[in-house]
Amino acid sequence: MRVLILSPLFPPYAQGGAELSAQGLARWLAGKGHEVAVLTAAKGAGDEVHGEKRDGVSLYRRLFPRPYSIHLQGRGASPWLKPIWHSQDHLDPRNRRIVGSILDTVRPDIVTLHSLVGLGQNTPAALAERDIPTLYVLPDLALACLRATMFRHGRACARRCGECLVSSTLKQATLRRIPRLGFVSPSQANLDRLAALGTLDGRPARVIANVNAYPEARHAREASALPRFVYAGRLDAPKGVENLLQAAEAARAEAAFTLTIIGAGGEEERLRRAFAGRDWLNFMGWLPLADTVEAIHQADALCLPSLWSENLPGAAVIALRHGVPILASAAGGLPQLVEDGVNGLLLPPGDAAAWRKALIGMVRHPQRLAAMGAAARVSGRRFDPDRLGADYLDFMEEIRHRPPRRVDAPENGLGLQQG
């Protein structure tokens, strides 16, 4: 089968889980003998690549017309450029022409979309014109929200604002033209939220975790005099890292431990300044995946204090597979991973007092941490890449052989399936 994967970012340009999941699926499919190509955005004209083979995958990096590169995520750009950027992302006809040229070169049997931000929200029109079966992978809430999180001004959004409604309407109108389309979400919570907002348009959908073959830790876990907590992920407001730091600072008055923060993002510099000089706190910045795996493996617990409806973060899967318990917000897809009191703790999002109490409790009861670690390792066994990849292939075949849907006859119901 010939598969074309669309992902605006793709390693080595990786900033989050969406591009790592695209790489994981590409490598797994190529390893099983499928013909795989990836279309991604170039930083500049000198960064373009046209069909170069890398890790068994044909890579196409194309420059999409924007005021600034998707790789910058708007950092350092004038706020006046953002409306222009999003207008081009939704409406510029060059988006679909670029994608169309790659479709005509690769001639895929199926296309998987891992995000369209930066490649063009109007590019599904090129898929519809060629009647190419399409699988849309949902790493976040981007189909419903311009910021992909439904989180703004320090809190989760109860409803969509006007600009998000306009964006979502345009996205749905283009996707509706694709005769054969299905959706995959790593978590049930993410899928349910998008379905409730009406963005899935009654298309078939499944819950399948990302096909990521994470590297194993290089060294045995070392003993430590102090319990070690770690956070790994983006340093952006919806991730709740500031709340975690406030809780940890309060907890340090009663318990000794260390906290390592791994990741980069819009909040990084501000948080570094606000919590500078703490001898128990270490900001590592962005790390390669292998180093992130090693840091999580060496920790006694992973902290995921998300304030938004988190999907299914790769850091959590890494932790479980390495027997590291998780302290997580009871939000989004995290309860799908963490069984409260068994392989970790579920805590109220943004409740610094509850997080403070949990950190102190874990320090004072190391035997409980050890028991949770053993349970975490058992939980991690369900994220076997071969099983998940087989689920993806099964759904791809279902979409490919599904009768084309008439664009003027929307289906009833959500068609949700558990994968």
Q: Are residues 33 and 158 in the same domain?
A: yes
Number of domain units in the chain: 2
pLDDT(419) > 70: no
> Whose CA is closest to 140, among 170, 121, 122, 117?
117
Helix (H, G, I), strand (E, B) or coil at 308: coil
Contacts of 154 by beta carbon, 8 Å cutoff, 6+ apart: 237
Give the tens place of pLDDT for each residue, 188-224. 999 999 999 999 989 999 999 999 988 899 999 898 9
pLDDT(412) > 60: no
User: Does 217 fall in a domain?
Assistant: no
pTM of the shown model: 0.88
High-pLDDT (> 90) share of the chain, %: 76
The token pair that represents 140 in the structure block: 């976040």
Average pLDDT over residues 312-335: 95
Give the tens place of pLDDT for each residue, 349-402. 999 999 999 999 999 999 999 999 999 999 999 999 999 999 999 999 999 998
**pLDDT for res 31:** 95
User: Does 116 fall in a domain?
Assistant: yes
pLDDT(76) > 50: yes
Peptide bond into 12 cis (omega under 30): yes
Contact 169, 193 (CB under 8 A): no
Q: Are residues 317 and 294 in the same domain?
A: yes
**pLDDT for res 104:** 97
User: Does 69 fall in a domain?
Assistant: yes
Q: Are residues 264 and 154 in the same domain?
A: no
Contact 242, 355 (CB under 8 A): no
What's the mean per-residue pLDDT of the chain? 91
Q: Are residues 308 and 390 in the same domain?
A: no
High-pLDDT (> 70) share of the chain, %: 95
Average pLDDT over residues 295-312: 95
Give the tens place of pLDDT for each residue, 30-72. 999 999 999 999 998 889 999 999 989 999 999 999 999 888 7
> Whose CA is closest to 40, among 417, 18, 31?
18
Which residue type occupies 71? H
Contact 332, 309 (CB under 8 A): yes
**pLDDT for res 416:** 37
User: Does 333 fall in a domain?
Assistant: yes
> Whose CA is closest to 301, among 253, 352, 368, 251?
368
- Cα–Cα distance between 239 and 244 in angstroms, integer? 10
**pLDDT for res 414:** 36
User: Does 202 fall in a domain?
Assistant: yes
- Cα–Cα distance between 382 and 86 in angstroms, integer? 38
Average pLDDT over residues 325-349: 96
Average pLDDT over residues 159-168: 90
* CATH at 40: 3.40.50.2000
pLDDT(151) > 90: no
What are the strands, taking DSSP E only, across 87-172? 110-113, 134-137, 151-152, 155-156
Q: Are residues 375 and 390 in the same domain?
A: no
**pLDDT for res 407:** 59
- Cα–Cα distance between 7 and 160 in angstroms, integer? 25
User: Does 184 fall in a domain?
Assistant: yes
Cα 339 to chain centroid distance, Å, stands at 21
Q: Are residues 149 and 41 in the same domain?
A: yes
Q: Are residues 294 and 399 in the same domain?
A: no
Q: Are residues 286 and 375 in the same domain?
A: yes
User: Does 221 fall in a domain?
Assistant: no
- Cα–Cα distance between 236 and 264 in angstroms, integer? 8
DSSP strand pairing (151-152 vs 155-156): antiparallel
Q: Are residues 29 and 65 in the same domain?
A: yes
- Cα–Cα distance between 261 and 282 in angstroms, integer? 6
Q: Is 49 left (phi over 0), alpha (psi -120 to 50) or beta?
A: beta
**pLDDT for res 410:** 43
**pLDDT for res 415:** 35
**pLDDT for res 122:** 95
Give the tens place of pLDDT for each residue, 95-117. 999 999 999 999 999 999 998 99
**pLDDT for res 413:** 35
Band (pLDDT 50/70/90 cuts) for residue 119 is: very high
138-152, 160-174, 404-418: range with lowest mean pLDDT:
404-418
171 or 158: which leads in pLDDT:
171
Q: Are residues 208 and 253 in the same domain?
A: no
**pLDDT for res 411:** 41
- Cα–Cα distance between 8 and 61 in angstroms, integer? 9
Q: Are residues 273 and 342 in the same domain?
A: yes
Q: Are residues 139 and 275 in the same domain?
A: no
User: Does 219 fall in a domain?
Assistant: no
The token pair that represents 155 in the structure block: 């809190």
73 or 146: which leads in pLDDT:
146
**pLDDT for res 409:** 44
- Cα–Cα distance between 408 and 266 in angstroms, integer? 42
User: What is the domain range of residue 268?
Assistant: 228-382
